[in-house]
Amino acid sequence: MQSVYISIEKYVEGFERFNELWQAHGIRGIHAVSMTEGIEKVIEVENSKKMELLFVDIVADNVDYLPQLKVLDYETDAPILIVTSNPNTAEHHEALNNGADYYAQYCDSPEKDINGVLSVINSQKRRKTKQKSPSQIMVYKDLLVSPEYHKVFVNDKELRVSKNEMVLLKYLIADPGRVLTHKQIRRYILQDEYDQLSSDHLYSIIKRLRSKLREASGQQEYIETIRDVGYRLV
């Protein structure tokens, strides 16, 4: 089984420089430029029978990692390491309280810090593996939905959604491109009481969710209206 780590940072140059060191230890690096992409890659590795995830490294200088840190922690037992060129006590405490295992100042000479990282990895391996249910994370393009935590992220920015908006988005993202009729959506949201959800109410839910997604993504459209039929993800 191949040993891998995931590095979440926007700049590939930094990843390449540190990756050479880990390759010398027989550990392959996987690069991600955002938390959403990083979490998606974590799930792929965790579900793989050919790769073992040793740790996740986040360069906090250029990634807004805190909002999705709990989601990442839920998805993996591997250590989560946070490095930054400007460490501060408040962020340090928040990171550790939300799932990080290590928080330290960014080191320009990675050889000096590798033993510290390896000690965190070995310490984590000795812990009892967390018991958790299969992942419910749903990813579509730059959209990430975590039903467990009732959280939605667009371009790593958290989006506040209502219960009905979350249920609707979960239904749409489960089968991107499929046209869902008004009746199917109403039944899915309210189950047996779907008749209580009028067409006008459903339209209001769609309108609010569409507006939130558009604003968070910089005017990108996610939900397409199929006239007289229903809706689907673009």
pLDDT tens digits, residue range 162-174? 998 999 999 999 8
Report pLDDT digits (tens) over 99-147: 998 898 877 665 666 777 777 777 766 654 555 567 788 998 889 999 8
Report pLDDT digits (tens) over 1-15: 899 999 999 888 778
184-195: average pLDDT: 70
Per-residue confidence (pLDDT) for residue 199, from 0 to 100: 74
CA distance 82 to 53: 16
What's the pTM? 0.74
CA distance 112 to 83: 14
Q: Which stretch of DSSP H or E encloses residue 52? A: strand 51-59
Contact 232, 182 (CB under 8 A): no
Q: Give the domains, in start order, of the chain with CATH numbers.
A: 2-126 (3.40.50.2300), 138-233 (1.10.10.10)
Task: Answer whether residue 212 shows pLDDT above 60.
Answer: yes
Q: Is 221 helix (H, G, I), strand (E, B) or coil?
A: coil
Report pLDDT digits (tens) over 44-96: 999 998 999 999 999 999 899 999 999 999 999 899 999 998 899 999 999 99
Contact 107, 81 (CB under 8 A): no
29-35: average pLDDT: 95
Contact 185, 231 (CB under 8 A): yes
Q: Which stretch of DSSP H or E encloses residue 32? A: strand 28-32
21-38: average pLDDT: 92
84 residue type, one letter? T
